[in-house]
Copies of this chain bind each other. A is one copy, B any other.
Amino acid sequence: MKKILTLLLLAALSTFGQSEDESQIKAIYDAALTKGKAYDWLNHLSNQIGGRLSGSVQAQQAVDFTKVQLDSLGLDRVWLQPVLVPKWVRGTPEYAFIETSPGLTNTVPICALGGSVATPPAGIKANVVEVKKIGQLAELGRSNIEGKIVFYNREMDPTLINTFQAYSGCVDQRYSGAAEAAKYGAIGVIVRSMNLRLDDYPHTGSMSYGELPVPERIPAAAISTNGADLLSATLKLNPGMKFYFKQNCKQLEDVESYNVVGEIKGSRFPDEIMVVGGHLDSWDLGDGAHDDGAGCVQSMDVLNLLRITGYRPQRTLRVVLFMNEENGMRGGNKYAAIAKSIKERHVFALESDAGGFSPRGFSFDCSSSNFDRILGWSKLFEPYGVHSFKKGGSGADIGPLKNDEIVLAGLRPDSQRYFDHHHAENDTFEHVNKRELQLGTAAMASLVYLFDKYGIVIE
Q: Which of B34, B197, B360, B433 contacts A158 (CB 8 A)?
A: B34
Q: Which of A129-137, A221-229, A398-406, A414-422 contacts B (4 or more CB under 8 A)?
A: A414-422
Q: Is the CB of A30 within 8 A of B358?
A: no
Q: Which of B159, B163, B360, B384 contacts A34 (CB 8 A)?
A: B159
The yes or no answer to A285 lying at the interface (CB within 8 A) is no
Cα distance A233–B111 in the bound complex, in angstroms? 48
The yes or no answer to A22 lying at the interface (CB within 8 A) is no
Cα distance A315–B69 in the bound complex, in angstroms? 61
> A382's closest neighbor in chain B, by CB?
B388
Q: Is the CB of A416 within 8 A of B388?
A: no
User: Measured between C-beta atoms, what is the minimum distance from A291 to chain B in Å?
Assistant: 17
User: Measured between C-beta atoms, what is the minimum distance from A409 to chain B in Å?
Assistant: 19
The yes or no answer to A385 lying at the interface (CB within 8 A) is yes
Q: What is the copy number of this chain in the assembly? A: 2
The yes or no answer to A213 lying at the interface (CB within 8 A) is no
Report B-chain residues with C-beta under 8 Å of the C-beta of A414: 358, 385, 414
Digit string of A408-435 for contact with B (CB within 8 Å is 1, else 0)? 0000001011001000000000000111
Digit string of A152-186 for contact with B (CB within 8 Å is 1, else 0)? 00000011010100000000000000000000000
User: Measured between C-beta atoms, what is the minimum distance from A25 to chain B in Å?
Assistant: 12
Q: Which of B30, B158, B161, B360 contacts A159 (CB 8 A)?
A: B30
User: Measured between C-beta atoms, what is the minimum distance from A380 to chain B in Å?
Assistant: 13
Report B-chain residues with C-beta under 8 Å of the C-beta of A29: 159, 161
Digit string of A7-32 for contact with B (CB within 8 Å is 1, else 0)? 00000000000000000000001100
The yes or no answer to A118 lying at the interface (CB within 8 A) is no
Cα distance A68–B290 in the bound complex, in angstroms? 41
Cα distance A29–B160 in the bound complex, in angstroms? 9
User: Measured between C-beta atoms, what is the minimum distance from A201 to chain B in Å?
Assistant: 14
The yes or no answer to A329 lying at the interface (CB within 8 A) is no
The yes or no answer to A271 lying at the interface (CB within 8 A) is no
Q: Is the CB of B388 within 8 A of A161?
A: no
The yes or no answer to A5 lying at the interface (CB within 8 A) is no
The yes or no answer to A200 lying at the interface (CB within 8 A) is no
User: Measured between C-beta atoms, what is the minimum distance from A135 to chain B in Å?
Assistant: 24
Which residue, A161, A360, A383, has most C-beta atoms of chain B within 10 A?
A161
The yes or no answer to A196 lying at the interface (CB within 8 A) is yes
Q: Which of B161, B417, B439 contacts A385 (CB 8 A)?
A: B161
Q: Beyond the given A34-B158, A161-B439, could you list 11 further A-B residue pairs with CB under 8 A, ordered by the A residue number?
A: A29-B161, A33-B158, A158-B435, A161-B385, A197-B434, A358-B358, A385-B388, A416-B433, A416-B436, A417-B433, A417-B436
